[in-house]
Chain A
């Protein structure tokens, strides 16, 4: 009995103390309010995050992006950094998953990164944008979905044209230059495929053309015979492809197996070696590609970039690496011109940056898009060459 009452007294005393402590602490301040923003200080390295898929289906995109951005940062660091400070580029893996992306957006905000490069997947970028905007972290993204522009975030910039530009150029070439009106479409239901589908349909509609077939497949589909058989029945002259590299390659390969001889047409993914190698060089012969980066041999700048890329990674440069390189250059130039500003000032500096880059001339407008032109190439003998 005495033991019980003793322990009870102890407990009640403990409870009172704990409650008092609780009230005292809670009364003083809300948690997290008195954090200092580590890293946003003006000494030490300049912290920039690159967020991309380093694993999963989209990891090849992520790898190219990283290589391009890293090349730019290393150039600047070798030249002494910005205002005497080195640039620290840290890579985070979003696994192509928008939710992981939102987690990472919070992570880089809490760890004091002042700007972000990536991601290559529009859905991930769209998911991250509100958090980055809230934390005032400028983001130079590599996606091309018009959905990103629709967010109207003053902190979101694209390092290339949007699907609208790609597909408008493509539709113009096919319909007006080539005079082809018998067009089929096969797109996937991912954010890239959906963006392409909507942009190309719109570009065709502006020319009063309705596609003869409009097949939508899923992003993880491997067998496209059902969709392709439907397309074969319509016997189109050109088939528009709105899917990522590997899936597009599989579609073309299976189309040729089914005896479809029509020419394929597409945008950025169809210009990559991955697409070509998945489908096979003969299968992709003649494919029309709308691209802002025709080849490494286009001019002196692309040649220098391709040589540096080859020297650093012992592989040939391609569009995504070039885009990331341009994006990183724009960010670094803006950091320099603003004397390492952060937040809104840095975003404004990016918007003011003009660059004559690998993809062409960048001049950002209010929507965060800096470049509005692509050119049409054809794959000839496994290489992309300007279309006649």
Chain B
């Protein structure tokens, strides 16, 4: 089955390659020009797709990246007298530098604000190009030197097509490779949930810059090819109207699929050619199609096959595959004690020492002088009424919040206020009270993101040693399969988390956190929404995790679980620690009883009677 699919795919690629190679023989000299322009736009669309669709960074400056490279090529060949190839390399560097500048605001702002800022920078570029002397103003720059290859006349648009085709094929393959390997997976995770991505070690700021860098390099490639093809640049080409055209390509094609972006670019370039005699109506037509796509097919053309399949299976036209709903959660396979994840459990130093932590949000003091010391290998419970600061404390420990006072030491290192990805690399992993799985990533990909420990700066290996990346990815996949099997999730590896029952999602989140191979695992209400059997399995899982040497801190409202599972319990109320001790001690402390009974009117939060056999 698998071999056949691979063979089919290889065959399809081969046919595409042959069609691509023979295409010029079927076209007249104007049509080949249209195809040449189409390829330029396809490259631009891939870049935009990488930034917007894959990394979730709204980038309305793609057309400016395009412009920077085209103008740089033009200026360097006509004014500085460099050859095309030298200029091309310098132009790519210029586009990349500009991309990093445009990306800077993304470190602080996201979503539509980022859209506005990048749009502003794009406008600034067009304005500069229209007014500066070096760009020739509105008249632009003509007489750009074209590329020269010995023996091949690249001034022929037919032969230029082959140059573009080769660049395009390499660029598309590289883009797809990035998307399906660790770097792209981290970007997709960041797109779905930047907080959770940071908490599993993705360096969100560096990833955002990488996204803009990739977008600008693709834009730069397109700009260089454009300058070599048209041999003329003028500000209109890089106008906001063309940015919208580009955006339309990506949205109609399907922004989360690079192939979709290419299809969108090809399709829209052809439509524009057909509508060339009716430019006014053409603009209205693009606008309408974009609106219709966003409303009725948000995943674009690329998403249509999947939608058709799901419709077909809903109507019972196709045989139901082992659907997510029908397969059962497999049993958890306990870790064998012989494979401790962490070796320094025998150290006596506390794994976590929190001293006098304050956390206030403007007027609200959420934590006040909190002290907490957790010994290695312990299972610590944190309980307290709603709003007592439990999750805030977790957010401080995992680096989502910077405390306003106090210190956090992890295994003796002062990591107060460190970023969440840094803490993740130190060995802290967590789950979230309201599940934060990456919604557009399969369960397997969720695990793969967490497993990967490469740093973003190591992305240079993509250029110089892609085979190493490929091998690394293959190893990760083997490890991911092991984890899926261990947590009984093997049947759901290819499902999207949103389609799965709640209990399975909870399990998947623990599996993802454990894929980090942490020293300290923070579980935020892991039993919420679980039934009795699932809760029993949960406590089995937590004990097995601890058996490998991982320290576990659990926030939980299910008191029987907390009492049975935890060796020590810390009670928070109103942002301060009001009690700490063994389950039996805590359950009898008068201030605890008062906090619970005083704050909530005899609710279910009342501690349950302690099962004696566990408390001993």
Contacts and interface: CB of A to CB of B under 8 A. Distances in A.
Nearest to B137: A194
Interface centre among B10, B11, B29 (most CB of A within 10 A): B29
Given A18-B14, A22-B18, A102-B232, A122 B156 contact: no
A3 B422 CA distance: 52
Contact of B138 (A30, A56, A100, A219): A219
Contacts of B277: 93
B21 interface: yes
Interface string A30-73: 11110100000000000000000001100000000000000000
A145 B33 CA distance: 28
Given A22-B18, A127-B234, A151-B142, A106 B280 contact: no
A32 B7 contact: no
Contact of A30 (B15, B156, B230, B234): B156
A191 interface: yes
B11 A30 contact: no
Interface in B119-133: 130-131
Interface in A252-293: none
Nearest to A15: B14
B139 A147 contact: yes
A25 B25 CA distance: 9
B588 interface: no
Contacts of B33: 103, 106-107, 110
Interface string B230-253: 111010110000000000000000
Interface string A2-36: 01100110010011001001100110001111010
A68 B14 CA distance: 54
A4 B22 contact: no
Interface residues of B, number: 45
B21 A26 contact: yes
Interface string B147-164: 000000001111101000
Interface in A173-210: 189-191, 194
Contacts of A194: 137-139
A126 interface: yes
B79 to A, nearest CB: 15
Contacts of A25: 22, 25
Interface in B557-586: none
A110 B138 contact: no
Interface in A138-192: 145, 147, 151, 189-191
A139 to B, nearest CB: 14
B272 to A, nearest CB: 10
Given A107-B30, A189-B131, A194-B137, A7 B7 contact: yes
Contacts of A126: 139-140, 142
A99 B236 contact: yes
B387 interface: no
A189 B22 contact: no
B523 interface: no
A55 B139 contact: no
Nearest to A103: B33
Nearest to B11: A11
B468 interface: no
A76 B177 CA distance: 63
A123 B14 CA distance: 44
Contacts of A22: 18, 21-22
A97 interface: yes
A219 B159 CA distance: 38
A15 B24 CA distance: 20
Contacts of B137: 189, 191, 194
B533 interface: no
B32 interface: yes
A189 B232 contact: no
Contact of A35 (B28, B34, B231): B28
Nearest to B29: A110
Interface in B14-44: 14-15, 18, 21-22, 24-25, 27-34, 37
A230 interface: no
Interface string B109-120: 000000000000
Contacts of A122: 139
A11 B15 CA distance: 11
Contacts of A106: 29-30, 33, 157
B140 A123 contact: yes
Given A189-B137, A218-B130, A95 B279 contact: yes
Given A106-B29, A129-B142, A99 B159 contact: no
A123 B138 CA distance: 7
A109 interface: yes
Contacts of A32: 24, 27, 29, 32, 156-158
Given A93-B277, A98-B234, A106-B33, A127 B7 contact: no
A14 B18 CA distance: 11
B3 interface: yes
* Residue among B22, B130, B232 having the largest count of chain A Cβ atoms under 10 Å: B232
Nearest to A107: B30
A189 B158 contact: no
5 contacts: A31-B25, A99-B236, A126-B139, A189-B131, A219-B138
Q: Enumerate the 7 nearest inter-chain pairs by beta-carbon distance, A residue then B residue, closest first.
A: A31-B24, A110-B30, A32-B158, A110-B29, A98-B234, A31-B158, A191-B138
Given A30-B156, A110-B28, 4 more contacts: A32-B29, A97-B234, A130-B231, A194-B137
Interface of B: 3-4, 7, 10-11, 14-15, 18, 21-22, 24-25, 27-34, 37, 130-131, 137-140, 142-143, 155-159, 161, 230-232, 234, 236-237, 276-277, 279-280
